[in-house]
Chain A
């Protein structure tokens, strides 16, 4: 992508800036948003698209709102603005044995603005560009090929209101991509007890999804639908001046089409009578997830976060997750975080390495196989408020920059002769994330 600067004088050739990295593109979006909205003689992209056309009107308006908060000084202490960018890349498909992995570039803009003493409004907008998101399968040879790029757009609107020790929030949102549309509503209420040492929170949400098929020659009737309802209850307790803990449970009920419309399953693949069919999953799924979290402050300006999740669902998938995060102040303004996440999962009741024609639910969904995974990484969080002040930049009460790198990898367990090693083994992913947050 290239960016052409404005002409400074008649006849002067504009400069062409090559935006080779995603970070430089994001920086260009943020810096040029006001100019784009004013419809001035703005820098433009070499394909002729304006900034507004390139990223859409909504995020540009959100960026302008953030600028407005800074320039007019009308912001309250609880007003926040953040931009987050993430690059994800893995090396293997979790569906097809010889297919390549997925690359995705995702960014998210979020704004929270107090509209009264007790009420705040939140907006978020995200774009997720995914390459190799689907694989089209030749029904004869089962060969796979890349389907190119897909883009997912998502947006959300939230309202938060506090009355005494009770906090109410309501959110609505949607996401759109070429083969999947989703709309959701959620609400929660949280009440403090014991001089704000205990918080009890109840949340409910409902999502309505429409699924389409991009498979060539698909004879099934689309869109198909899926409705998902979730109820959550949590207790948070300050145990000591240095320790806080939380326990919570979520119950989710999903009804409707839950397979992947593009996935093709090879039945009795090792025999001469092999055949191909569409993937089929049960139409109901009940999920239960219980989480225990403990955060402990350490005397050398550090903190240890530990969490454990027990998960089980009606498809037979059960898992245990242990998460550890260690935070350490390296200076007053710089925090280092190290993380480790350990996950082990059992296979769904209907998942088999070699599906046969007698299976009720033929699937190649690698998420349903038995495997372990490990995630580890490092993150730096820099409080840039002082540095910005010294440089004469006044953009709110607090400015945070963060940078993280995580590695995620899966390893297949070999404990059963029939439910083992899915189509891909040893998936390895790299995740890089950059963020900017401001409080006003």
Chain B
């Protein structure tokens, strides 16, 4: 229950913050389009990292990296 409250609170703050923002115009997006500003610049690396970490740690998920399971030890 606490988790859902946290998620809702974060989401509300996020959306409330967005509501007061000025829109970034297309001609202002040069830096956002730079490869080093992408949320996932290297999807293959992200998938490799997720694979290693989820087989070494008890937590997994959240970063949107899809894939099948494995019996990796």
* Chain A residues close to B by CB (< 8 Å): 82, 84, 86, 88, 93-95, 102, 106, 108, 110, 128, 130, 133-134, 152, 154, 156, 171, 173-175, 177, 179-180, 182-184, 186, 194-198, 201, 203, 205, 207, 209, 211, 226, 228, 230, 232, 234-242, 244-250, 252, 260, 287-293, 295, 297, 302-303, 307, 309-313, 315, 317, 319, 321, 327, 329, 335, 343, 345, 348, 367-368, 373, 375, 402, 404, 408, 410, 427, 429, 431, 433, 435
Interface size class of B (residues with CB under 8 A): 35 or more
Name 4 extra pairs, CB < 8 A, besides A106-B48, A311-B62: A186-B66, A289-B62, A310-B3, A408-B53
**CB nearest to A196 among chain B residues:** B26
9 closest A-B pairs by beta carbon, nearest first, are A180-B71, A289-B62, A182-B68, A327-B36, A241-B28, A317-B58, A311-B59, A291-B62, A184-B68
Main SS at interface, chain B: loop
What residues on A are CB-neighbors of B44 within 8 Å?
A: 82, 84, 108, 110, 435
Partner of B69, one of A93, A156, A175, A367: A175
Decide: B57 and A134 in contact? CB cutoff 8 A: no
**Cβ–Cβ contact B45 & A250, under 8 A:** no
- Residues in A neighbouring B28, C-beta threshold 8 A: 241
Q: Which of A180, A249, A250 has the most CB of B within 10 A?
A: A249
Query: Which of A247, A287, A315, A348 is in CB contact (< 8 Å) with B60?
Result: A287
How many pairs, one residue from A and one from B, have CB atoms within 8 Å of each other in the complex?
A: 202
Residues in chain B near residue A84, CB distance under 8 A = 44-45, 48
Residues of A close to B72: CB separation below 8 A: 128, 130, 133, 152
The answer on a CB contact under 8 Å between A290 and B7 is yes
Q: Closest CB-CB distance, A256 to chain B, in whole Å?
A: 10
B36 to chain A, nearest CB (A): 4
Report chain B residues within 8 Å CB of A156. Answer: 67
Q: Which of A195, A226, A319 sits near B58, CB closer than 8 Å?
A: A319
Return chain B residues, CB-CB under 8 Å to A177.
Answer: 70-71
Report whether B36 and A303 are in contact in the complex, using a CB–CB cutoff of 8 Å: yes
Task: Assess the B64–A248 pair: CB atoms within 8 A.
Answer: yes
A262's nearest neighbour on chain B, judged by CB, is: B73
Which one, B7, B23, B53, B70, contacts A152 given CB within 8 A? B70
CB pair A289 B59 closer than 8 Å: yes
